[in-house]
Structure 1
Amino acid sequence: MHDHQHDHKNSSSNRIGWAFFLNVSFTIIEFVGGVLTNSTAIMADAVHDLGDSLSIGLAWLLSKLGSKEPNGSFTYGYQRFSLLGALINGLVLIAGSLWVLNAAIPRLFEPQQPHAVGMFWLAILGVVVNGYAAFKLSHGKTLNERVLNWHLLEDVLGWVAVLIVAVTLMFVDWPILDPLLSIGFTLFILVNVVRNFIEAISLLMQGTPSGSLHSRVVEALLEIEHVEETHHVHLWSLDGESHVLTAHLRLDKTVDSERQKEMKEEIGKVLDPFSFLHTTIEFEFPDEYCRDN
């Protein structure tokens, strides 16, 4: 179990590292390409990608930190630092999307004609590089990786928009397509990022990872023989994927140590489908007072 968790954390860090280096390298290419094509849209995307690179670099650092083992200061480990990275990246992406909208909307009224052929080849490269980086992160399940994946998907959609505009401008004089498509894909990404951002805030506030998870766990525990009532059932998540459960189970009769051992095995089986990282279960007998009340 320990080796599995360690390998999972290393895989997450490696995927984010790949995305970081690809993004930084392509951002440099974008700045050069923006100058050569005299395209303000590409220069704007280069600035946006620079912000993405900084965010991904921060996420990588926090992911590395999140792989450290638990200690006396952080008894559950450092996985919540990854969740903090998701929150910061969500903020950066929301700010970046608003900045793109602020730059694109005025161009609806004063469209500019860029170098279409140069845009075309940069767009091809942009789709390939960002698409590969997004593919690498798509294998991750942590909230941090999902938010970063939206960074990269935004870039892929942006370059698809640039590619469409570049091909169109080779044949017709419609420069207004550039800001129209930019606004469209930015709004699409913004909606999804806000959803993940709200989830990150909820998890940082120790909200239940899923709306139905609490009730399903309680139902599963109540199916165990001699479990009369559940209370102090607390569910929270360390990083959006690794969940923690604590619960008190009031029994309908006093049972001996052998039966308690059997019940612990039964609890392990009914909770196994939930894949909790940590579980703490306490038995309370009929004549016992709950000290946490």
Structure 2
Amino acid sequence: MHDHAPATGIRGAGNRRLLTISLCLTSLVFVVQVVGAILSGSLALLADAVHMLMDAAALVIALLASAVAARPADDRRTFGYQRAEVFGALVNGILLIVLSVWIAIEAVVRLLHPDDTHVAGGLMLVIAALGLVANAAAIWLLSAAQRTSINVRGAYIEVLGDLLGSAAVIVAAIVILATGWVQADAVVSLLIAAMIVPRAIGLLREVFGVLSEATPTGMQVEEIRRHILDTAGVVAVHDLHVWQLTRGAPVFTAHVVVAEEAFGTGRISDILADLQNCLSTHFDVAHSTFQLEHAGHVEHDAHE
């Protein structure tokens, strides 16, 4: 007695197309930034370029995960391959942490040895401006898809962080051109690392929440229980569980005790339809499974 969720999120072909376009933009700007960083001597620009590389890696992972997640369910994986998105997001989060540590170490080295720092502010400004435009375009492309896919969300977060990083590099370049204070390059590098870490931790927290089968954020179990109990013919509910396969794919199960007369009058199908419609309409749960029981049959889960 259940209802199945439609394919959503990154599994859609449209989202994969957007990821591909974003990957092309990111890869192109990465090459330009690496060349610009070498020619200008800017650590901030090089850090932004490495972040671009991580963005490209995140997008590649997202595309690979989308191809895997689009595979249909089978007898060994009855929910399909939707969790591939979560593992892709896990890799993205770890890469973000590693990147931020590398940026911070290099920035501290430059701050400790300012005499060895030589930065061409003009070239740094031009390259950073190109990166800003490319990141803005990628964010616009991914803004809608990231709401329904945790893996696209990971790629979106990386591009957003790189957009802010490019803006900070532009500010540092202007400071260097106006004052000659080359340490601004290292300071901005530290700021880029500081912007990355909280978003990476947030992404990893969401990933671990999915993998630990925690209740999805914003979903109140007691409210769901109240809606079920308000359904005509329902006497009690127990063994209620709600988790998610990935972002935007919640799953719900419950044992529902139904009034004895409902079995005699043949209203079981109507009650089941009401319950599934309630979960879908009020809580956006498209995959729900109910075990309907007689009032005299109560089989509690070991955890309750």
TM-score by length of 1: 0.91
> 1:114 is matched with which residue: 112, 119, 124?
119
> 2:97 is matched with which residue: 94, 99, 115?
94
Q: Is this contact kept in 1: 2:258–2:293, CA < 8 A? A: yes
Q: Is this contact kept in 2: 1:56–1:148, CA < 8 A? A: yes
Q: Does residue 76 of structure 2 align to residue 73 of structure 1?
A: yes
> 2:141 is matched with which residue: 136, 161, 164?
136
Q: Does residue 36 of structure 2 align to residue 28 of structure 1?
A: no
User: Deviations 1:10-54 (Å, cap 9, x if unpaired)?
Assistant: 222222222222222221112222222232332333233223322
Residue correspondence of structure 1 range 100-179 to structure 2 within 5 A: 100-111=103-114, 112-140=117-145, 141=147, 142-179=149-186
Q: Does residue 191 of structure 2 align to residue 184 of structure 1?
A: yes
How many residue pairs end up in the alignment?
Answer: 293
Q: Is this contact kept in 1: 2:122–2:177, CA < 8 A? A: yes
User: Deviations 1:31-85 (Å, cap 9, x if unpaired)?
Assistant: 2222222323323332332233223212210112111121212211111101111
Output the aligned Cα RMSD: 2.2
Following superposition, which runs of at least 4 residues in structure 1 exceed 6 angstroms of deviation? 1-4
Q: Is this contact kept in 2: 1:246–1:279, CA < 8 A? A: yes
Displacement after TM superposition at 1:197 (Å): 0.6
Q: Does residue 62 of structure 2 align to residue 59 of structure 1?
A: yes
Q: Residues 251 and 20 from structure 1, CA distance in 2 versus in 1: closer, same or farther, beyond 3 angstroms?
A: same
TM-score by length of 2: 0.88
> 1:214 is matched with which residue: 206, 218, 221?
221
- Give structure 2 stretches of 5+ with no counterpart: none
Q: Which residue is 1:265 aligned to?
A: 273
Taking the aligned partners of 1:137 and 1:146, their CA distance within structure 2 comes to 8
Q: Residues 253 and 275 from structure 1, CA distance in 2 versus in 1: closer, same or farther, beyond 3 angstroms?
A: same
> 2:296 is matched with which residue: 269, 287, 290?
287
SS at match of 1:174: coil
User: Deviations 1:256-286 (Å, cap 9, x if unpaired)?
Assistant: 3531122123213321222223111111111
- Relative CO higher for 1 or 2, CA cutoff 8 Å, sep ≥ 6? 2
Q: Residues 144 and 94 from structure 1, CA distance in 2 versus in 1: closer, same or farther, beyond 3 angstroms?
A: same
Matched letter for residue 114 of structure 1: V
SS at match of 2:266: helix
Identity %: 27
Stretch moving more, 10-19 or 215-224: 10-19
SS at match of 1:246: strand
Taking the aligned partners of 2:123 and 2:33, their CA distance within structure 1 comes to 11
Displacement after TM superposition at 1:182 (Å): 2.5
Q: Is this contact kept in 1: 2:9–2:248, CA < 8 A? A: no
Taking the aligned partners of 2:25 and 2:126, their CA distance within structure 1 comes to 18
Q: Residues 238 and 137 from structure 1, CA distance in 2 versus in 1: closer, same or farther, beyond 3 angstroms?
A: same
Q: Residues 154 and 143 from structure 1, CA distance in 2 versus in 1: closer, same or farther, beyond 3 angstroms?
A: same
Displacement after TM superposition at 1:106 (Å): 2.6
SS at match of 1:171: helix
- Give structure 1 stretches of 5+ with no counterpart: none
Taking the aligned partners of 2:301 and 2:34, their CA distance within structure 1 comes to 60
